[in-house]
Amino acid sequence: EELIMSSWLPPKHPIVVNAFEPWAEEVEKVTDGRVTVRIMGKPLGSPPAHFDMARDGVADVTYGLHSFTEDDRFNRARLGQFSFLGDDAIANSQAYWSVYGDQLNAAEEHAGTHLLGLFMHGPGLLHNNVRKIETPADMQGLKIRVPGGYVGDLVSALGATPLFMSSPEVYEKLSRGVIDGVAFTYEAMTAFNLVDDIKYSMTVPGGIYNTTWFFVINEDKWNSLSEEDRAAIDAISGQAFAERVGQAWNDADTAAQAEIGDKVDFYQATPEVVAALKEQAAKLEQAWSEGLGDYDGAAALAAFREMTGVSAE
């Protein structure tokens, strides 16, 4: 049986090379060649369409970001998008798989598919080329590209202007001064060629934001596999995949840091800035938790932080 996987990241992206491709090879191995995975050279749709593509069977296996689509489908997935969640992509991803998966019933939000993985990358930073942000007032008036809802609300609460655009656009806009900064990981700084256009990068313990990813297979396709093969694939997916992909993100971050060296001023956020971030973040976390109905978002966040070892206060 051949599984068709649609991949929209560049073919040389670290998590394609170090997580998805090895996973695909492993699938063949653990099923003794009964199941193979073919990763398409060209995606079969736009990145935001990738969840629906797996659900509708356009492809069998897809991955993507929950924040691609702004709708009511992945509300509980936001668990992993807040600030102060953890600095290690492996711990983040494992906590996300277990807390979002169990306490917040991730499977229900991914109806029509079977979950192969839920994961996060390393800590998000705030990069800019205007000034070192030492007090909350330094955020005033900065134009910051953000990946989605939560960080947008956060930087806007601190007086900066959040702007939305696709990742490849960031280079054009940053190098032309259309934006002053961007919320990104270490890895994205080199991947999108931003090093020369960034001067200051503020690190926040546990990350200023994160993005959450799904890795799914079409439900009918999944059920058509034999029980033995499903068990074998499950064993290398989920928690095991969280470790694999987390390692890939960590390695990419480390490599990027080595490449950047001291071309960018990396600095710890001052206690004052951290306090301001915490205050705004707490409000946003509370609003999210209250909107979840029967699910207890606050408890899930606490459990998550306990697993990754970030002090929850």
**Rounded-to-10 torsion of CA 88, 94, 99, 102:** 170
Draw the binding track, 166-205, toward another protein (x: CB under 8 A; -: no contact). x-xx-xxx-xxxxx--------------------------
In sequence order, which residues have a C-beta less than 8 Å from that of residue 136 and are 6 or more positions away?
158, 159, 272, 273, 276
**Residue from 124, 148, 238, 297 that binds another protein (CB under 8 A)?**
148
Contact 106, 118 (CB under 8 A): yes
159 binds another protein (CB under 8 A): no
238 binds another protein (CB under 8 A): no
Half-sphere exposure of 278 (CA within 13 A, CB side): 14
**Residue from 24, 27, 35, 49 that binds another protein (CB under 8 A)?**
49
Q: Which is nearer to another protein, 99 or 188 (CB)?
A: 188
Determine the interface stretch with another protein among 64-72, 98-106, 239-247, 283-291 (rule: CB under 8 A).
Answer: 64-72
Strand order in the sheet with 113-120: 36-39, 2-6, 61-65, 212-218, 113-120
Q: Which is nearer to another protein, 45 or 101 (CB)?
A: 45
Q: Which is nearer to another protein, 72 or 108 (CB)?
A: 72
70 binds another protein (CB under 8 A): yes
134 binds another protein (CB under 8 A): no
Cα–Cα distances in angstroms (integers) from residue 302 to residues 101, 102, 166, 288, in the given order:
15, 14, 32, 14
Contact 198, 184 (CB under 8 A): no
Determine the interface stretch with another protein among 22-30, 43-51, 92-100, 253-261 (rule: CB under 8 A).
Answer: 43-51
Q: Which is nearer to another protein, 179 or 242 (CB)?
A: 179
Interface size with another protein, residues (CB under 8 A) = 42
Contacts 24+ apart (CB under 8 A), 135-141: 135/270, 135/272, 135/273, 136/272, 136/273, 136/276
CA dihedral sign of residues 274, 192, 150, 244: negative
Give the footprint of another protein on this chain (CB under 8 A): 4, 10-11, 40-42, 44-46, 48-49, 52-53, 56-58, 69-73, 141, 143, 148-149, 152, 161-166, 168-169, 171-173, 175-179
